[in-house]
Structure 1
Amino acid sequence: MAYEMSVHAQDPKVGRVGVVLDAIAHASKESGDYEHVDIAVAYASTKGVRLLKERLSSGAWTASTKRFLVSIDFGFTQPNALKALSELDNSEVRIPNARAVLDSSVLRPPSAFHAKIFMFGGEEWKDLRALIVGSANVTASALSTGAEVVTKQIWRNNSSRTVAWEHLKRAKPVVDWFEDTWDSADLLADVLDEYRQRYRALPKPRIPPEETTRTTRVFLASPTEHVITGILPVQLAAAKSLWVDGSSIIRNRKPRPGNQLNTPRGTRVFFGFDSRNVSKNTTLGYVEIRISGHDYVKKRSIRFADNGMDIIGLPIPERYGVGTYQDTILIFTRDPTHARFTLTVTDQAGLADRRAAAANNVELSMSHGRRYGLLF
């Protein structure tokens, strides 16, 4: 038997977005042809269920027997999320303490149900193949954009008398707890209609509080209305610095060096502009940019060009001690004042130093291979 344990920290402030969902998907994949899935969470939302369903689309997930323990404590779980979970193939949902919660005028439980576990395996505890324990509910925020930490454990080729077997035995209390809680929980069909009525009577908005954050709304933005969605705009909005390979400077000042930089569509988000679709040749707005050691240059435009890229208007290079931007590395860093950025013109060695000093860095590539990235 082989045993693997890893810890996964998700935090959009340092660019770690979608980490929890990745960990769950990896556990599902590494579990092979598992037959049973047991999940217990405090809260669930319709958007969280959708993310989970879209990501776990393997044959094993579809064919497996799925059991969900989800609380309705304080009215945070959306009724439609419970219904969506129950409509998954081979799925059953039960509600811990449901009757006691519904007997409370404010949906307060006798004791809060706050467990978060995801288990993939067989019918018996010794067939457990993957276990995730941590802070994440089945909400879009918890799975993608909230600050969360989970521990993932995976067992392969189960057999006794190994070190991994000892680790597996330590997981048995979690399996036993799930079974005991499952046996005492209320059937969803017995409480859903009443809970839906009580939920509708709650003060608006009836959205899990964690899903009202700007970060989660950016992550869930409609791909038909925005040029970029999902992880990248969240990272762009949070990054301290953006670096771009300067091998595609527009030669707009011939014969003098150019000062317009092609960047991927959506880069505008780093500079504080919305990611919504606009027509080509639209000026999105202006920022102030200074070369390190010089004053700010006002009205540097950010424009969505007819080539489908976001073009940044840079300071005139020779006025600020720069021979050319071509074939350099350009690092834009947010300054404390809104819409102000410091531009460092450097090389690969300078970029390596900045990356080494960052809390996290994300390297990206444009469609034609030119590199860019984010520093946190």
Structure 2
Amino acid sequence: MKLKAFIQSAENHPTTLAELRRAHEWAETEQFLGLYAYATQSGAIAFDLAFGSDFWDQVPSQWLFGIDYGRTQPQALRFLIERSNVEVRIHDGAWVVERNGFLPRRDFHMKAGFLTNSTKSRFGMVVGSGNFSSNGLRQAAECGASLHAATTMEFKKTFRSAFRAAKDLWEAATPVEDILDSYEERWAASAALEAPEPEAPAPNYDELEVFWIEAGYVTRNRGPDKPGNQIDMPRGMNRYFGFNAPDNLAVNSVIGEVTFEPPAGGPVTNNLRLGNNMMEKISLPIPETHGFDMYDGKVLVFSPQGGHYRMWALEAEDFESAFGHRLASVRVTKSGRRYGHIE
């Protein structure tokens, strides 16, 4: 058996996602079982980018997630169940979905993936601290280990008992289809970021120090194997960027130039324009060259600095922890993405 420990984000060490991919290629996976405490939209997109349509088409996969405390995003669950050969279950889901705050009877903290090929007697396991979010799978500082058993006897002596215990958890769990509509409804109603009353006044844009928008799903404008970097924003959001576009602006007109200051790679200047769908479109800095892993499922945060805009891409939970107590009015796009400013 081969065992490899790694520290994600350390130089010359792989990511959790890369180790999952390596185990998959070695095992020529016939069956995948993934168990994670929670799932985010960014995690689902990151996995999809790394494994591609061939994985979904060729490998039956079973997924077990927790919804403890409402950390799992319904968008992530819907994305996964729309793939081929996928079954998703929720740990103690029928009970947790009915509890205020989605409080569990017992916390579900699993973070493991099993990749098995019984025909060729190859068995892989990747376990660690990273959850099923883009940060947990490839960006944040995490630790983990991958195990490869090349014979059935090796598998039996090492992690077969863990695999069987994981299967038992999955078998006992609630099919996601039984509770997803209810979970999504209750999750949205309990979200910390609540929409304002319709008559909420517009902010004084000249005085804003921080504003934000949920990216949602980002179209893969750079190709199917790369995270997208072009997002739509609601009509009028140009005011947050210091413009005042007229209401009768023609489609495909350039509203102005926006210069971003991302965490790495230097400033990037792109046009903000009005698209054919009457949304305001902007191309953001290329994720992999400017300190981001992706924008999908993240909350984009902007801070005006001398005519430029410093920016961050945060997981929703991290955004709410950092800024939830400072939110001013929260607005909602027609597609349900939220945005606003921070006081």
Q: Indicate yes or no: 2:267 matched with 1:274.
A: yes
CA contact (8 A) 1:9 1:16 kept: no
Deviations 1:309-328 (A, max 9, x none): xxxxxxxxxxxxxxxxxxxx
Are positions 1:103 and 2:91 aligned together?
no
In the alignment, which residue of structure 2 is the partner of 1:137?
Answer: 131
1:186 maps onto 2:162 in alignment: no
Aligned residues: 217
Q: CA deviation at 1:194?
A: 0.6
Output aligned runs, 1:279-358, within 5 Å.
none
Look up the match of 2:65: 70
In structure 1, distance between residues paired with 2:152 and 2:265: 55
Question: Which SS does the other structure have where 1:201 is aligned?
Answer: helix
Q: 1:76 to 1:159 in 2, by over 3 A?
A: closer
Distance in 2 (CA, whole Å) between partners of 1:121 and 1:272 is: 40
Gaps of 5+ in 2: 195-213, 228-260, 272-343
Distance, in Å, in 2 between the alignment partners of 1:194 and 1:10 is 36
- Contact 2:6–2:13, Cα closer than 8 Å, also in 1: no
Change over 3 Å in CA distance of 1:123–1:223 after alignment to 2: closer
Corresponding residue for 2:339? none
Alpha-carbon distance change, 168 to 75 in structure 1, aligned in 2, over 3 angstroms:
same
When the two chains are superposed, the root-mean-square deviation of aligned CA atoms in Å is 3.4
Classify the secondary structure of the residue corresponding to 1:56: helix
Partner of 2:8: 10
The 3 A distance-change label for structure 1 pair 67 and 276 is farther
- Structure 2 counterpart of 1:171, from 152, 159, 163: 159
Q: How has the CA–CA distance of structure 1 residues 105 and 277 changed in structure 2, closer, same or farther, with 3 Å as cutoff?
A: same
8 A contact 2:43–2:132 mirrored in 1 = yes
Aligned ranges for residues 154-303 of structure 1 at < 5 Å?
A: 154-156=148-150, 158=151, 160=153, 165=154, 168-205=156-193, 273-277=266-270
Letter in 1 for 2:75: N
Partner secondary structure for residue 48 of structure 2: helix
Which amino acid is 2:130 matched to? A
Which residue number corresponds to residue 53 of structure 1?
Answer: 48
Give the corresponding residue for 1:23.
19
Q: Which sections of structure 1, spanning at least 5 residues, go unmatched?
A: 207-216, 231-267, 279-376
Query: For residues 273 and 168 of structure 1, do their structure 2 counterparts lie closer, same or farther at Cα, with a shift above 3 Å needed?
Result: same
Match of 1:149 among 143, 148, 151: 143
- In the superposition, the TM-score normalised over structure 2's length comes to 0.55
Matches for 1:33-52 after TM superposition, within 5 Å: 34-52=29-47
Task: Kindly name which structure, 1 or 2, has the bigger radius of gyration based on alpha carbons.
Answer: 1
Percentage of matched positions with identical amino acids: 24
Deviation per residue, 1:135-184 (Å, 9 max, x gap): 1211111112111111101123x254xxxx2x542201211111211121
Contact preservation (8 Å) 1:9, 1:149: yes
Q: CA deviation at 1:123?
A: 5.8
TM-score of the two chains, using structure 1 as the length reference: 0.51
Question: C-alpha distance in 2, partners of 1:77/1:181?
Answer: 18
Q: In 1, distance between residues paired with 2:43 and 2:12?
A: 18
CA deviations over 1:202-251 (Å, ceiling 9, x no partner) = 23349xxxxxxxxxx9xx999979xxx98xxxxxxxxxxxxxxxxxxxxx
Q: Distance in 2 between matches of 1:103 and 1:28?
A: 37
Contact 2:39-2:131 within 8 A present in 1 as well: yes
Question: How far 1:45 sits from its partner (Å)?
Answer: 0.9
- What secondary structure does 1:89 align onto? coil
Q: Is the 8 A contact 1:93 1:188 kept in 2?
A: yes
Task: Indicate the SS of the match to 2:69.
Answer: helix
Letter in 1 for 2:117: G
